[in-house]
Amino acid sequence: MSKDPYAPKDAPPSDVEHIKINSNYLRGSLNATLEDRVTASIPEDDNRLMKHHGSYMQDDRDLRNERAKQKLEPAYQFMLRIRAAGGVVTPQQWLVLDELAQTYANGTIRLTTRQSIQLHGIIKWNMKATVKTINETLLTTYAACGDVNRNVMCNPNPYQSEVHGEVYKWADRISEHLLPQSRAYHELWLDGEKIIDSQESVEQEPIYKNVYLPRKFKIGIAVPPANDVDVYSQDLGFIAIVDNGKLLGFNVTAGGGMGMTHGDTATYPQLGRVIGFCTPEQAIDVAEKTVTIQRDYGDRSVRKHARFKYTIDDRGIEWFKDELHRRLGWSLEPARDYRFDHNGDRYGWVKGSNGKWHLTLFIQNGRIADDEQGHLLMTGLREIAKVHKGDYRITGNQNIIIGNVSGQSKRKIDQLAEQYGLTSGLASSALRRNSMACVALPTCGLAMAESERYLPTLLGKLETILADEGLQEQEIVIRMTGCPNGCARASLGEIGFIGKAPGRYNLYLGASFNGDRLNKMYRENINEEEILAELKPIIARYARERQEGEHFGDFAVRAGYVQAVVSGTDFHA
Ligand code: SRM
Ligand code: SF4
């Protein structure tokens, strides 16, 4: 094995580090294993590399037992994630994705919590055709997953003001700047030059080197007062500072992250901390140098301790600032004032400063599909894409914006949206409109409990309780994940559920409505009956005792149900 220059001195690098270093810049034996028709799977080493190309091998967990009984290999399939900074896609691109979903995937499209788009259920032999088609439409899956910088999030409604448009451009530039340089992606998927088999490849990764990052890395840009990218959950965050409609620059946050492991208190969700201010032009440099610090100091031995938040918490935020300033050759200015109101989406039509209209739709848990109740989301978005001249924007709350609609087209879009049941979600309760659930079963290999398929049912029961207390219009951020990895940022839910086992969840309370405070565990390992029994009296008391404008999470803290958690290091205390 090649020597890893970045391995900590006292512990050997993890297996994944060996795989990356020996992969010849993300190639491994992927080309051969994708061609191999003997099995629908690929070996684990290649699967690790495959993530950097935007895909995970999965198997349909609903079919696992039955197939095992029949002595068949699991129903292997691939999830493909499309990375588009700020979640912007054109109607033409949407139509291609829609067709791919029908042809090669499971007939649905999944909007993600990071403004990306996922297709599920692609069989190995269809992967090359799918990725190639995605690229032909000028989208990519490269670096959507893996130990690199992921999709850069930003406030998804750029045309609300010129500032939003500018911020989107910076998100895109940061995203491009941090893309891996290896040609492996082009060779593998786009019929590039011949695959280089030798370790003597002349390729260079100026930012990542051949080791890439110790773990995934995430960046998001928020435009106050909306914190719809949950900026404090990002490894590196930028908060736009705007004066008189002009973007002055960004406050920089560092060291956020949501993942943890049940029963391991050394792992915890954490909030990014504001470390200073930079101008827009300096943001790329800040991002690059931060990534290289994590490359050089992140833990390469223990993957669950390898996120940037632990690098910072172990060494201290002042250490990080000093190292960042040293690498930048200049210092961040003191942070500027800002204020966030909320971390959810604002629904319905808004008119942007460019005179165009934008319709934000509520998509339950980001799943675009036609259902038997007459909600024809898939068909509706396809029909709109056929006539729409603007764009689609995915939000960080798994919703979609039909963006940049001209005054003349607004009626037509409105009529189509209504005809296919796209706007019916807007009439959902305030609780539902503020809900998110991660994918979980049946595709996610790490799920311990249902999430996307279960939260809608649980919400129905909670809606009844809220309605009984006259709180049906009360906005409460509620989030569920099927395991503690945090994909729907459940630790930032005023009510959070984290899957423990089939039908059982930990219940967390007390996060803020604007995403600047974590929640804390209130009850462990409870089933639906217990969840409802626990929440009912708290909701009733909230209805009686809440102060003017007081949010549910703030009340849960004030009433003493849980303590306020403003640092992840207190999450388990
Ligand atoms: Fe995630 C792994 C889905 C956002 C933290 N995430 C996974 C995998 C790939 C499971 C796996 O490793 O085998 C899931 C695929 C499920 C499936 O079948 O589609 C998965 N994550 C998702 C998505 C699709 C959830 C969704 O419902 O939208 C989100 C895709 C985002 C994107 O477009 O890039 C998604 N994941 C997140 C977020 C939220 C965010 O980034 O804002 C987090 C928490 C923030 C963070 O990273 O700290 C998140 N995912 C994780 C982790 C825990 C990482 C850690 O720090 O320990 C894992 C597990 C891992 O990496 O080992 C994971
Ligand atoms: Fe899977 Fe867990 Fe992420 Fe949900 S939170 S998608 S169960 S890894």
Q: For residues 515 and 494, what is the distance between their CA atoms, to the nearest angstrom?
A: 9
* pLDDT < 70 regions, the chain: 1-9, 192-202
Q: What is the pLDDT of residue 194?
A: 53
Q: Which of 433, 438, 517, 520 is catalytic?
A: 438
Q: Residue 117 CA: which ligand 1 atom is closest?
A: 33
Handedness of CA 57, 61, 62, 63 (dihedral sign): positive
Strand (E) positions, 28-105? 55-59, 76-82, 88-89
Q: Is 145 a catalytic residue?
A: no
From 490, 497, 485, 538, select the one nearest 515 (Cα to Cα): 490
Contacts for 100 with CB less than 8 Å, ≥ 6 apart: 119, 130, 133, 134
| HEC per residue, 351-378 | ECCCCCEEEEECCHHHEECECCCCCEHH
Q: Residue 436 CA: which ligand 1 atom is closest?
A: 27
CA-nearest residue for atom 3, ligand 2, is 487
Q: For residues 24 and 395, what is the distance between their CA atoms, to the nearest angstrom?
A: 35
Q: Is 487 a catalytic residue?
A: yes
From 63, 159, 101, 144, select the one nearest 393 (Cα to Cα): 159
Q: What is the pLDDT of residue 1?
A: 35
Q: Residue 445 CA: which ligand 2 atom is closest?
A: 1
Q: What is the pLDDT of residue 374?
A: 82
Tokens found for residue 221: 């840009």
Q: In this structure, which amino acid lies at residue 442?
A: P
Q: What is the pLDDT of residue 314?
A: 97
CA-nearest residue for atom 36, ligand 1, is 487
Q: For residues 477 and 188, what is the distance between their CA atoms, to the nearest angstrom?
A: 42
Q: What is the pLDDT of residue 130?
A: 98
This prediction has a pTM of 0.96
CA-nearest residue for atom 43, ligand 1, is 487
Q: For residues 496 and 521, what is the distance between their CA atoms, to the nearest angstrom?
A: 9
Q: How far is the CA of 529 from the centre of ligand 1 (A)?
A: 28
* Ligand 2 mutation pick, 79, 367, 438, 480, max ligand atoms within 8 A of CB: 438
